[in-house]
Amino acid sequence: MSRKRTDDDAAQHVPGTAAKVSGVVASQDDRLLEEAADWLVRMISGSATADDADRLAKWRAQSTAHEAAFREVAGVRSYADIASRTRKPVDRRAILSAGGGALAVLIGIGVARPPLGLWPSYGELMADHRTPVGGRLALHPVAGVDVELSSRTAVSLVDNGRGIRLIAGETYVAARPSDGMFSVQTDRMRVDGQDAEFNVQVLVNRQRVSCVKGTVRCDTGGRVTTLIANQAMTSGPDGTRQMTVDAAKESAWRRGLLIFDGTPLAEVVDQINLYRPGRIILTDAALQEIPLNAVFHIANIDNSVTQIEQLANVRARYMAGGVVLLG
């Protein structure tokens, strides 16, 4: 005598369908969503560490399903900026109940710029490609274009691979597409190049594009400037300015070196922070404009603090989590 199948019976025979046992969701998909929500709660709790960020990256890399679950709870499919910040509490239930609208929850708590930059921002976490401290990555988004990502760099592809959005860090582009331009976009500028090589940085308070070969077109809020080889443009709190540079020094990171020639100490520190765990912080604003002439080897970047102490006559205090106070 046949028995009529109940809804729960049917659910147990359909792959990917959640079967409830004593009120517990037993599907693999739901388990991954819950784990992803727990990770998101941890990263926006205010107590996350760089180690947490590394472990999250490993969790996401386990499978495409893990990555899809993380993007599901975040409610986005590409890079998103979250500018506001509050201290409203949030838990797994709040994120999961928001479903695809978890982004609205995140906007309320603000995770765009974690304190001291000790772990990746929300935008970095949602990037298509991201490098860890000391990491490098080569991309070939379209034919004729080579993109190299430096340490602590995050990018997302735009325009069907005909451009990238540089969220944080530094990238070198050799662009020789068969037609049209290749672009690097930031929140302050758009750089277009064809038959050109150029370097772009997005650091804490400054963005910079340097033309190495050919010519590039730089649009900063409607103001368009053409840069040729050995020219650079910076955009920061003090506005936008153009200058002559040594292109070989601008991209020396690709050879394992950071070369500074009369560079303000604040800019030196910003670049060094890309290559070491934790964060170097200048505690005295008067130190920011001190010019520094130095060459640092990225492979031995920890020695940079001692070198700065000697060159700038400052004292370093070492704190937990790789934080160094210079003053």
Residues 241 and 270 in one domain: no
Kindly provide the b/e burial profile for residues 22-34, where b requires at least 16 CB atoms within 10 angstroms of the residue's own CB: eeeeeeeeeebbb
Residue 293 lies in a domain: yes
Residue 311 lies in a domain: yes
Last residue of a domain, one of 248, 272, 303: 248
106 contacts 82 by C-beta, under 8 angstroms: yes
Residues 239 and 163 in one domain: yes
pLDDT given for residue 290 in this prediction = 93
Residues 136 and 244 in one domain: yes
Last residue of a domain, one of 248, 274, 305: 248
What CATH number is given to the structural domain containing 170? Answer: 2.60.120.1440
Measuring CA to CA, which residue among 248, 191, 184 is closest to residue 225?
Answer: 191
Tell me the per-residue pLDDT of 233-246, one tens digit each, with 9 for 90 and over.
998 877 889 999 99
Residue 14 lies in a domain: no
Question: Residues of the chain with pLDDT > 90: what percent?
Answer: 45
Residue 268 lies in a domain: yes
Residue 173 burial (C-beta neighbours within 10 Å; 0-12, 13-18, 19+): buried
In this predicted structure, the answer to whether residue 275 has a pLDDT above a threshold of 80 is yes
Residues 92 and 158 in one domain: no
Residues 144 and 228 in one domain: yes
Residue 27 to residues 11, 16, 116, Cα–Cα distance (Å): 10, 7, 39
Identify the band that residue 94 occupies on the pLDDT scale cut at 50, 70 and 90.
Answer: low
74 SS3 class: helix
Tell me the per-residue pLDDT of 179-224, one tens digit each, with 9 for 90 and over.
889 999 998 899 999 999 999 999 887 899 999 999 999 999 889 9
Residues 203 and 293 in one domain: no
Tell me the per-residue pLDDT of 295-323, one tens digit each, with 9 for 90 and over.
999 999 999 999 999 999 999 998 877 88
Q: Which domain holds residue 278?
A: 256-326
Tell me the per-residue pLDDT of 16-60, one tens digit each, with 9 for 90 and over.
333 333 334 446 777 888 887 777 767 655 566 667 777 888 888
In this predicted structure, the answer to whether residue 14 has a pLDDT above a threshold of 80 is no
Q: How many domains does the chain have?
A: 3
Residues 260 and 284 in one domain: yes
Q: How far apart are CA 95 and CA 276, in angstroms?
A: 33
Residues 142 and 99 in one domain: no
Residue with tokens 């400052």: 314
Residue 300 burial (C-beta neighbours within 10 Å; 0-12, 13-18, 19+): exposed
Residue 222 lies in a domain: yes
Residues 224 and 318 in one domain: no
Residues 134 and 243 in one domain: yes
Where do the H-state alpha helices sit in the chain?
7-13, 28-43, 50-60, 64-74, 92-97, 102-109, 122-125, 247-250, 265-272, 304-312
In this predicted structure, the answer to whether residue 9 has a pLDDT above a threshold of 60 is no
What integer best gives the mean pLDDT of the chain?
78
H or E element in which residue 111 lies: none
Residue 13 lies in a domain: no
Residue 181 lies in a domain: yes
Residue 17 to residues 3, 25, 96, Cα–Cα distance (Å): 21, 10, 18
Residue 8 lies in a domain: no
Orientation of helix 265-272 relative to helix 304-312, angle to 10°: 170
Identify the band that residue 289 occupies on the pLDDT scale cut at 50, 70 and 90.
Answer: very high
pLDDT given for residue 55 in this prediction = 84
In this predicted structure, the answer to whether residue 7 has a pLDDT above a threshold of 70 is no
Tell me the per-residue pLDDT of 106-161, one tens digit each, with 9 for 90 and over.
444 344 445 455 556 667 777 888 888 899 999 999 999 999 999 999 999 999 88
Question: Residues of the chain with pLDDT > 70: what percent?
Answer: 73
Residues 215 and 264 in one domain: no
Last residue of a domain, one of 126, 154, 180: 126
Measured in degrees and rounded to the nearest 5, phi and psi for residue 165 equal: -105, 120
Q: Please tell me which of 7-11, 28-32, 130-134, 254-258 the model is most confident about, judged by mean pLDDT.
A: 254-258
Residues 105 and 57 in one domain: yes
